Amino acid sequence: MTEIFVGSGDADRSSSTAGASRDAHQARRVIDTAGDAGRASGATGMARDAGRASEAARAATPRDAIFANSLVVTLDQAAELPFAAQAVARIREAQARGSVSENVAVFPGFCDVHVHLREPGQSAKETIATGTRAAARGGFTTVCAMPNLDPVPDTLENLALEEALIARDAVIETLPYASATTTQAGAAITPIGELAQRAIGFSDDGHGLDDPDLMEAALREIAKAGSIIAIHAEDGALRPAGSSINAGPLAEKLGLIGIPKEAEYAQIARDLEILRRLAAENIFPAYHVCHVSCPESVELLTAAKAEGLNVSCETAPHYLLLDESQIPGDNGHFKMNPPLRKPSDREAIANALAAGTIDFIATDHAPHTAEEKARGLAGSAFGIVGIETSFALIDTHFVETGGITLERAVELFTTAPRARFNIPARAGDLTIWDLGADATIDPADFASKGRATPFAGWKVRARCLATFAAGREVYTGVGSPAEPGRK
């Protein structure tokens, strides 16, 4: 397969794409699903819903006029945009040859608020260049980079090192998180007020924040800064040392130490009690839970939303489409944290997404070297790649099966995460997809350095044909100099 990406270091790209990371302080203006008026009146569910239509939601609305009435538009509508005309012509030529189906749709550029780009410090796993190219291949025009780096972006100086790499190498808008605690060690909070001027939010992703007093202090600072904290919910006291997959019969059968789902929802329950105490002081920090994997977590957050607390959550495609019954023995490509849960948990998470109680989808794209993922379930690193396969999987195995509509799926990848994290939509951000493709997920095709996916060999009906960031074609999946074959 031959595909085309823009090169790194191009001056026009760095001025529009990477420059956006320096403007990430815009996030401080919003991060509030309830709205000030809603909080003052008790922040009922109706007030919170109204708040979502406020400044944050309006900013998240796609800027290109073709999306004025729908997030799903036609190739003819995309042809109205001068920057897309050449790509549209190539796609039409491919349709005439029969290598692209007639079922082509155009969407706003996708936004993923949970990716691991591994730079600085871990470039053997991924780089800003390879990770953002992988994102473009998956239809994404904005990603938010998690802070488990070396050095950790826990000061303005350390954050500047990451920003410099983004300015040099990113092909799409790339917004960095800062860490919530110094070196992500969970012992002292970072200078949140300073960092919030340049970070999209705060996270210690990969680590639960076990100290309740430290969590409360962080939440108070998050509220003052008008920022958001993205939580990896895991109570360290409930996760045994050496654990690797979900606790239960499969772990026992394989002789592995399991991670109970209580480790996830117990920490969420604790944090919600802190948020309730803060609400009594009229303090409503924005609290977001990453990669929820069990229904108990969703139930707690749904109740908290009904109370008017400023909370949200995401899940990932693997928690919607996989469960522990599909783990094929001792395979490190099925190891992630949180782990795949029971079939009943997967079904509940899928139902929650369909019901709207999960706010949006994020990939938790977490690349590792081949050697790090070849040590079996006990010894492999936690994490899988997903940014190149996420939309194709959701469209094929969730939309086409009737779980949600295509419009809703696109919302979960676009306006929903942008509104929550106050990431303004940009003119010229769009992605074009063949929804009638006959493709097979093959890690050898990935632009990411990471190849570890549990979805290798899965059939998908969606294939990205082109992605534009700020009006520039950053990924070409069809056309000159050679057209990719349909697999």
Catalytic residue numbers read 364
Q: How far apart are CA 80 and CA 78, in angstroms?
A: 5
Contact 433, 426 (CB under 8 A): no
Beta pairing class for 110-115 and 286-289? unpaired
Q: Which of 159, 202, 166 is nearest to 184 (CA)?
A: 202
Per-residue CA distances from 354 to 48, 75, 360, 412 (Å): 20, 28, 10, 11
Residue 400 burial (CB count, 10 A):
14
Residue pointed to by tokens 């970072």: 190
**DSSP H or E segment with residue 223:** helix 212-225
Residue type at position 427: A
Q: At what angle do helices 128-137 and 156-169 cross, to 10 degrees?
A: 60
User: By C-alpha distance, which of 232, 215, 233 is closest to 285?
Assistant: 215
8-state DSSP, 194:
H
Partners of residue 105 on adjacent β-strands: 433
DSSP 254-318: HT-EEE-THHHHHHHHHHHHHHHHHHHTT---EEEE-S--SHHHHHHHHHHHHHT--EEEEE-HH
> Cβ contacts of residue 115 below 8 Å, gap of 6+?
131, 135, 143, 144, 145, 146, 362, 363, 364, 365, 387
Would you tell me how many other CB atoms lie within 10 Å of the CB of residue 276?
12
Cα separation of 301 and 283, whole Å?
A: 18
Question: Phi then psi for 367, rounded to 5 degrees?
Answer: -75, 145
User: What is the number of other CB atoms lying within 10 angstroms of the CB of residue 16?
Assistant: 16
Torsion angle of C-alpha atoms 115, 261, 295, 217, degrees rounded to 10:
-60
Q: What is the largest CA-CA distance in the chain?
A: 65
Q: Which residues pair with 440 in a beta bridge?
A: 459
Tokens representing 222 are: 């998050």
